[in-house]
Amino acid sequence: MPFRVKFLLSLAWLLTAAGGHAFMVHLGQTGPSYAVAFLGVFAVFAMWVFPEVTKKNPASLK
């Protein structure tokens, strides 16, 4: 995935997680709000750390 796409996706994901966290705090749900924040940050971290899965051409394996 190109850097620009990954960066914009990370930004969108973090903004969505921040919005979800703020919404859950507004509802008075403290525990789930921490889970939303953690999962948002973890998802972005995992996207940057773990590589993309790509298929290899079967002809190149011979």
What CA–CA distance (Å, rounded) separates 43 from 2? 17
Alpha helices (H) in the chain, listed in sequence order: 3-27, 30-49
**Entry pTM:** 0.78
Q: Which of 2, 1, 39 is nearest to 18 (CA)?
A: 39
- pLDDT at position 53: 82
3-class DSSP assignment, residue 45: helix
Question: CB-hemisphere CA count at 13 Å for 14?
Answer: 11
How does pLDDT run across 2-36, given as a tens digit for each residue? 899 999 999 999 999 999 999 999 999 999 999 99
* 46 pLDDT tier (thresholds 50, 70, 90): very high
User: Residue 45 has what pLDDT?
Assistant: 96
Q: Is the pLDDT of residue 58 over 80?
A: no
Domain ranges within the chain, ordered by starting residue? 3-49
